[in-house]
């Protein structure tokens, strides 16, 4: 058997591949719906973070090294077990709000979905669901840039079950192999009939490491207080999962926003670690990702709920 060169990077590559294999092995089966309390349980002990790094001009920063990052859980530094900085395929679920409150804006939401699909690369996949009083599959996961014909038949009708829709999206993403996952929400944010709370929906998305991007589709004629409340709900989902809230849904601003979302999903940094705190108490664990370079902004999820016995 030939010997490895003294400067071989085989050990580090092997460790990285081992942990990535563990993640991929656990991902499809690691998340299961609990019928009693509608939570998604995480069986794997590996915590994965997808992080977007931007400069002061909000331009995505690439080329950073693992040595420049530090992860803290509840203030305690953790050992980074694997790190990826290259372009990686992602899986996304697009949620179209077709409830009665959307009215003529359903067509605008449909156009936004088309803009997102236009940006998909060959290896990326996306699924489309619409939600009103129910959450229904419109188009299953594929890398097609063509939108299903039945999308054009969607009409505004019924209540708004935004929280239930996000939970459903998290369930579907839990079955995917891609490490980078996203939920794109096109809604006016006014949940009126969900069975689940926004907290449970957010926890489900975080459990499957999904970044939530929300686009405010509320009408200009909506009252100021009502619109602020709806926007607050959408911002909560995006900010706590490490995503973005897009306030302007129309025209060039929307097209640019979706172009940026696709770009950052493909060029995020993916880091993983095994927590030093192994207690299965179901408690919230706060995560802080730091970088040894000034004037940069990091967006990633704020934490996770530990498994519970």
Using an 8 Å Cβ cutoff, are 131 and 154 in contact?
A: no
Which secondary-structure segment (H or E) carries 191? Answer: none
* pLDDT above 80: residue 71: yes
Reported as a single tens digit per residue, the pLDDT across 225-251 is 777 888 899 999 999 999 999 886 667
Gap between the terminal Cα atoms of the chain = 47
Q: Return the percent helix, strand and coil in the chain, to nearest 5.
A: 35, 30, 40
* pLDDT above 90: residue 201: yes
- The percentage of residues in the chain with a pLDDT greater than 70, rounded to a whole number, is 83
Q: 90-266 — its CATH code?
A: 3.40.50.410
Q: How many residues does the chain have?
A: 309
Using an 8 Å Cβ cutoff, are 171 and 40 in contact?
A: yes
Please tell me the predicted confidence (pLDDT) of residue 44.
61
Please tell me the predicted confidence (pLDDT) of residue 164.
97
Please tell me the predicted confidence (pLDDT) of residue 76.
98
Read off the pTM: 0.83
């Amino acid at each position: 058997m030939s010997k490895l060169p003294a400067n071989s990077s085989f050990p580090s590559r092997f460790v990285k591949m081992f942990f990535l294999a563990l993640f991929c092995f656990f991902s499809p089966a690691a998340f299961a719906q609990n019928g009693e309390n509608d939570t998604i349980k995480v069986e794997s002990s590996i915590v994965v973070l997808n992080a977007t790094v931007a400069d002061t001009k909000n331009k995505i920063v690439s080329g950073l090294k693992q040595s420049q990052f530090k992860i803290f859980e509840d203030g305690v530094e953790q050992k980074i077990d694997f790190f990826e900085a290259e372009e990686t395929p992602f899986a996304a679920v697009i949620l179209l709000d077709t409830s009665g409150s959307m009215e003529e804006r359903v067509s605008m939401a449909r156009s936004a979905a088309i803009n997102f699909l236009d940006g998909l690369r060959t290896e990326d996949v996306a699924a489309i669901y619409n939600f009103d009083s129910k959450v229904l599959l419109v188009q299953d996961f594929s890398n097609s840039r063509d939108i299903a014909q039945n999308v054009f038949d969607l009409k505004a009708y019924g209540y708004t079950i935004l929280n239930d829709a996000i939970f459903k999206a998290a369930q579907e993403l839990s079955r995917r192999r891609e490490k980078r996952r996203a939920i794109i929400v096109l809604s006016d944010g006014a949940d009126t009939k969900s069975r689940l709370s926004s907290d449970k929906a957010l926890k489900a998305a975080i459990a499957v490491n999904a970044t939530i991007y929300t686009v405010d589709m509320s009408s200009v004629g909506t009252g100021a207080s009502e619109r602020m409340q709806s926007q607050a709900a959408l911002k909560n989902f995006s900010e706590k999962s490490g995503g973005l809230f897009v306030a302007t849904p129309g025209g060039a601003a929307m097209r640019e926003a979706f172009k940026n979302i696709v770009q950052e999903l493909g060029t995020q940094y993916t880091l993983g670690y095994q927590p030093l705190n192994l207690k299965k108490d179901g408690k919230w664990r706060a995560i802080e990702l730091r970088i040894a370079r000034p004037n940069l902004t990091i967006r990633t999820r704020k934490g996770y709920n530990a498994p519970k016995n």
